[in-house]
Protein backbone atom coordinates (compact mmCIF):
# COMPACT_ATOMS: atom_id res chain seq x y z
CA UNK A 1 0.00 0.00 0.00
CA UNK A 2 1.39 3.47 -0.81
CA UNK A 3 1.42 5.79 2.17
CA UNK A 4 -1.69 7.89 2.71
CA UNK A 5 -1.35 11.57 1.73
CA UNK A 6 1.13 13.04 4.18
CA UNK A 7 -1.06 16.07 4.84
CA UNK A 8 -4.04 13.90 5.77
CA UNK A 9 -3.37 13.64 9.54
CA UNK A 10 -2.94 17.40 9.72
CA UNK A 11 -6.26 18.07 8.00
CA UNK A 12 -7.92 15.46 10.15
CA UNK A 13 -6.76 17.08 13.34
CA UNK A 14 -8.03 20.48 12.17
CA UNK A 15 -11.42 18.88 11.49
CA UNK A 16 -11.32 17.13 14.85
CA UNK A 17 -10.63 20.43 16.59
CA UNK A 18 -13.57 22.05 14.79
CA UNK A 19 -15.81 19.16 15.80
CA UNK A 20 -14.74 19.36 19.42
CA UNK A 21 -15.40 23.12 19.42
CA UNK A 22 -18.81 22.60 17.83
CA UNK A 23 -19.68 19.86 20.31
CA UNK A 24 -18.62 22.11 23.18
CA UNK A 25 -20.81 24.94 21.91
CA UNK A 26 -23.79 22.67 21.31
CA UNK A 27 -23.32 21.24 24.79
CA UNK A 28 -23.93 24.67 26.29
CA UNK A 29 -27.43 24.75 24.82
CA UNK A 30 -28.83 22.14 27.17
CA UNK A 31 -28.52 23.89 30.52
CA UNK A 32 -28.21 27.64 30.71
CA UNK A 33 -30.65 29.74 28.68
CA UNK A 34 -29.22 30.68 25.30
CA UNK A 35 -27.94 34.26 25.01
CA UNK A 36 -30.59 36.47 23.43
CA UNK A 37 -30.15 36.57 19.69
CA UNK A 38 -32.52 39.49 19.26
CA UNK A 39 -32.91 42.72 21.14
CA UNK A 40 -36.15 43.16 23.10
CA UNK A 41 -37.35 45.54 20.37
CA UNK A 42 -36.64 43.01 17.63
CA UNK A 43 -38.39 40.30 19.60
CA UNK A 44 -41.40 42.55 20.10
CA UNK A 45 -41.57 43.31 16.39
CA UNK A 46 -41.22 39.61 15.55
CA UNK A 47 -44.04 38.75 17.93
CA UNK A 48 -46.30 41.46 16.52
CA UNK A 49 -45.93 39.79 13.12
CA UNK A 50 -47.24 36.43 14.40
CA UNK A 51 -50.86 35.46 13.75
CA UNK A 52 -53.38 36.01 16.56
CA UNK A 53 -53.55 34.90 19.33
CA UNK A 54 -49.77 34.39 19.40
CA UNK A 55 -49.08 38.04 18.58
CA UNK A 56 -50.35 39.03 22.04
CA UNK A 57 -49.21 35.98 24.04
CA UNK A 58 -47.21 36.33 27.25
CA UNK A 59 -43.73 35.29 26.12
CA UNK A 60 -42.22 35.40 29.58
CA UNK A 61 -44.90 33.05 30.79
CA UNK A 62 -44.21 30.82 27.77
CA UNK A 63 -40.53 30.73 28.66
CA UNK A 64 -41.37 29.87 32.28
CA UNK A 65 -43.81 27.16 31.22
CA UNK A 66 -41.21 25.67 28.89
CA UNK A 67 -39.31 24.63 32.02
CA UNK A 68 -41.78 21.76 32.18
CA UNK A 69 -40.49 20.60 28.80
CA UNK A 70 -36.77 21.12 29.44
CA UNK A 71 -36.23 17.84 31.25
CA UNK A 72 -36.92 16.16 27.90
CA UNK A 73 -36.37 18.82 25.21
CA UNK A 74 -33.81 21.41 24.13
CA UNK A 75 -34.94 24.27 21.88
CA UNK A 76 -31.70 25.90 20.72
CA UNK A 77 -30.45 25.41 17.15
CA UNK A 78 -28.50 22.16 16.99
CA UNK A 79 -29.41 21.36 20.62
CA UNK A 80 -29.17 17.77 21.80
CA UNK A 81 -31.95 15.26 21.60
CA UNK A 82 -32.74 14.23 25.17
CA UNK A 83 -35.62 11.92 26.06
CA UNK A 84 -37.49 13.92 23.42
CA UNK A 85 -36.27 15.47 20.17
CA UNK A 86 -34.74 18.95 19.85
CA UNK A 87 -37.62 21.40 19.27
CA UNK A 88 -35.79 24.11 17.36
CA UNK A 89 -38.02 25.11 14.46
CA UNK A 90 -40.72 22.61 15.44
CA UNK A 91 -43.59 24.93 14.55
CA UNK A 92 -44.39 24.12 10.93
CA UNK A 93 -42.24 20.97 10.94
CA UNK A 94 -43.71 17.58 9.99
CA UNK A 95 -44.19 15.33 13.03
CA UNK A 96 -41.59 12.68 13.67
CA UNK A 97 -39.18 14.08 11.12
CA UNK A 98 -36.03 15.20 12.95
CA UNK A 99 -33.11 13.13 11.62
CA UNK A 100 -31.18 11.26 14.29
CA UNK A 101 -33.98 10.98 16.84
CA UNK A 102 -35.66 7.61 17.48
CA UNK A 103 -39.37 8.46 17.37
CA UNK A 104 -42.08 5.97 18.26
CA UNK A 105 -43.73 4.34 15.26
CA UNK A 106 -47.03 6.18 15.89
CA UNK A 107 -45.23 9.55 15.81
CA UNK A 108 -43.22 8.64 12.71
CA UNK A 109 -46.39 7.58 10.95
CA UNK A 110 -48.67 10.31 12.28
CA UNK A 111 -48.62 12.22 9.00
CA UNK A 112 -49.08 15.55 10.80
CA UNK A 113 -47.49 18.93 10.43
CA UNK A 114 -47.01 20.90 13.65
CA UNK A 115 -48.97 23.94 12.60
CA UNK A 116 -50.15 25.92 15.63
CA UNK A 117 -53.64 24.38 15.96
CA UNK A 118 -52.23 20.83 15.82
CA UNK A 119 -49.52 21.66 18.31
CA UNK A 120 -52.12 23.19 20.58
CA UNK A 121 -54.21 20.01 20.55
CA UNK A 122 -51.09 17.86 21.09
CA UNK A 123 -49.90 19.90 24.05
CA UNK A 124 -53.36 19.73 25.62
CA UNK A 125 -53.46 15.94 25.42
CA UNK A 126 -50.56 14.30 23.56
CA UNK A 127 -52.12 10.83 23.38
CA UNK A 128 -55.38 12.11 21.96
CA UNK A 129 -53.58 13.53 18.91
CA UNK A 130 -50.93 10.81 18.49
CA UNK A 131 -52.26 7.64 20.11
CA UNK A 132 -49.31 5.57 21.32
CA UNK A 133 -46.82 8.46 21.42
CA UNK A 134 -44.00 7.88 23.86
CA UNK A 135 -44.17 11.48 25.08
CA UNK A 136 -45.27 10.92 28.66
CA UNK A 137 -46.43 14.41 29.44
CA UNK A 138 -49.75 15.01 31.11
CA UNK A 139 -50.55 18.03 28.96
CA UNK A 140 -51.07 21.74 29.48
CA UNK A 141 -54.74 22.07 30.35
CA UNK A 142 -55.09 25.86 30.24
CA UNK A 143 -55.62 27.25 26.74
CA UNK A 144 -53.72 30.45 27.54
CA UNK A 145 -50.72 28.43 28.74
CA UNK A 146 -50.60 26.56 25.44
CA UNK A 147 -50.80 29.83 23.52
CA UNK A 148 -47.93 31.27 25.56
CA UNK A 149 -45.71 28.20 25.10
CA UNK A 150 -46.43 27.99 21.36
CA UNK A 151 -45.61 31.69 20.92
CA UNK A 152 -42.37 31.08 22.83
CA UNK A 153 -41.54 28.14 20.55
CA UNK A 154 -42.33 30.22 17.46
CA UNK A 155 -40.02 33.04 18.50
CA UNK A 156 -37.25 31.20 20.30
CA UNK A 157 -37.08 28.57 17.66
CA UNK A 158 -37.27 30.13 14.21
CA UNK A 159 -36.57 27.63 11.43
CA UNK A 160 -32.90 27.47 10.51
CA UNK A 161 -32.15 29.75 7.54
C1 LIG B 1 -41.15 13.29 30.03
C2 LIG B 1 -40.49 13.79 28.83
C3 LIG B 1 -41.21 14.86 28.02
C4 LIG B 1 -41.75 16.06 28.44
C5 LIG B 1 -41.83 16.60 29.87
C6 LIG B 1 -42.21 16.72 27.26
N7 LIG B 1 -41.97 15.96 26.15
FE8 LIG B 1 -42.37 16.44 24.21
N9 LIG B 1 -41.71 14.63 23.59
C10 LIG B 1 -41.16 13.66 24.41
C11 LIG B 1 -40.87 12.47 23.63
C12 LIG B 1 -40.26 11.17 24.16
C13 LIG B 1 -41.26 12.77 22.31
C14 LIG B 1 -41.22 11.82 21.11
C15 LIG B 1 -42.59 11.18 21.01
C16 LIG B 1 -42.72 9.99 20.10
O17 LIG B 1 -41.78 9.67 19.34
O18 LIG B 1 -43.78 9.36 20.16
C19 LIG B 1 -41.79 14.14 22.32
C20 LIG B 1 -42.27 14.79 21.20
C21 LIG B 1 -42.68 16.11 21.19
C22 LIG B 1 -43.10 16.84 20.02
C23 LIG B 1 -43.12 16.30 18.59
C24 LIG B 1 -41.76 16.62 17.99
C25 LIG B 1 -41.54 16.15 16.58
O26 LIG B 1 -40.42 16.34 16.08
O27 LIG B 1 -42.46 15.62 15.95
C28 LIG B 1 -43.40 18.11 20.42
C29 LIG B 1 -43.89 19.24 19.55
C30 LIG B 1 -43.20 18.16 21.85
N31 LIG B 1 -42.77 16.94 22.28
C32 LIG B 1 -43.40 19.29 22.61
C33 LIG B 1 -43.31 19.33 24.01
C34 LIG B 1 -43.56 20.50 24.81
C35 LIG B 1 -43.87 21.89 24.27
C36 LIG B 1 -43.44 20.11 26.11
C37 LIG B 1 -43.69 20.96 27.36
C38 LIG B 1 -44.97 21.62 27.44
C39 LIG B 1 -43.06 18.72 26.11
N40 LIG B 1 -42.99 18.27 24.82
C41 LIG B 1 -42.80 17.97 27.26
C42 LIG B 1 -40.92 13.77 25.76
C43 LIG B 1 -41.36 14.81 26.57
Tell me: the pLDDT tens digits for 64-74?
Answer: 999 999 999 99
Atom of ligand 1 minimally distant from the CA of 69: 37
Q: Is the pLDDT of residue 29 over 60?
A: no
pLDDT digits (tens, 9 = 90+) for 102-133: 999 999 999 999 999 999 999 999 999 999 99
Closest C-alpha residue for ligand 1 atom 36: 69
Ligand 1 contact, 72 CB (< 6 A):
yes
| Per-residue pLDDT at 40 | 84
Q: How sure is the predictor about 14, in pLDDT bands with cuts at 50, 70 and 90? A: very low
Ligand 1 contact, 56 CB (< 6 A):
no
* CB 9 within 8 Å of CB 59: no
| Per-residue pLDDT at 156 | 76
pLDDT digits (tens, 9 = 90+) for 45-69: 999 999 999 999 999 999 999 999 9
In 3D space, the residue among 56, 87, 89 whose CA is nearest the CA of residue 72 turns out to be: 87
Atom of ligand 1 minimally distant from the CA of 71: 5
Q: Which percentage of the chain shows pLDDT scores above 90?
A: 65
Closest C-alpha residue for ligand 1 atom 5: 69
Q: Tell me what the mean pLDDT of segment 11-31 comes to.
A: 45
Atom of ligand 1 minimally distant from the CA of 130: 18
Task: Say how many Å lie between the CA of residue 135 and the centre of ligand 1.
Answer: 5
Closest C-alpha residue for ligand 1 atom 2: 72
Amino acid sequence: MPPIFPEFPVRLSATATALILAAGLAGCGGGAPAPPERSPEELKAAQAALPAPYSTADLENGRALFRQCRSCHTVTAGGANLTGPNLHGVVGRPAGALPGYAYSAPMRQAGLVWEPAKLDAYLAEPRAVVPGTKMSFVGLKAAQERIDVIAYLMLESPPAP
